[in-house]
A = this chain, B = another copy of it.
Amino acid sequence: MTTTDTQTGDIRETFKDFLASKGLRVTNQRLAIFDAAYGNSDHFTAEDLLEHAREIDDSVSRATVYRALPILTESGLIREVDVGKDYKFYMANKNATTFQAQVICLDCDKIYEIDAPFMEWYGKTVADKLGLNVESQRLQVSARCGGDPNSACQRGGKTS
């Protein structure tokens, strides 16, 4: 099943255009990695991405995944989510609107994305005072559900 519903298909073209505009080549491996990233509905690691990309194109190697990730993040099509583990998470940037904070459940390893529009203002204000220009921001809350059946973790659903 080649992922080609209307929206994803369009974004795929955007990716190709981005590659072209940077003088980079459109290879099967890069497309497989892109498709794998957008086929994944949640957060994923480099290793997850490799695994899924290989289901699409068997020839994708780990090195190529690691070489593609900076390209994809630079294009804005995927977002890096570093929650302080020793490996990084990524996620498809399907609706890139406002800044998002993460709430991380340390018990379940789930990551919730939360709109935090005030960060736009906050970062600029704080950086201005130091004479710096904002590049990126992180706002993360690490928390625990403690197995509480009323928590979003237990009621919710998808495993991160």
CA distance A84 to B84 in the complex (A): 7
Whether A140 is near chain B, meaning CB under 8 Å from some CB there, is yes
Which stretch in A3-11, A59-67, A124-132 binds the other chain?
A124-132
Q: Which B residues are in CB contact (< 8 Å) with A101?
A: 126
A141 → chain B closest CB, angstroms: 5
Q: How many copies does the complex hold?
A: 2
Quick one: CB contact mask for A115-153 with B, threshold 8 Å, 1 for yes? 000000011001101111111111111111110101111
CA distance A84 to B143 in the complex (A): 19
Interface band, chain A:
35 or more
A98 → chain B closest CB, angstroms: 15
Question: Across the interface, do A137 and B141 meet the contact criterion of CB distance under 8 Å?
Answer: yes
Question: Across the interface, do B138 and A84 meet the contact criterion of CB distance under 8 Å?
Answer: yes
Whether A105 is near chain B, meaning CB under 8 Å from some CB there, is yes
Whether A103 is near chain B, meaning CB under 8 Å from some CB there, is yes
Question: Across the interface, do B142 and A139 meet the contact criterion of CB distance under 8 Å?
Answer: no
Whether A82 is near chain B, meaning CB under 8 Å from some CB there, is yes
Question: Across the interface, do B138 and A134 meet the contact criterion of CB distance under 8 Å?
Answer: no
Chain A residues close to B by CB (< 8 Å): 82, 84, 101, 103, 105-106, 112, 114, 122-123, 126-127, 129-146, 148, 150-153
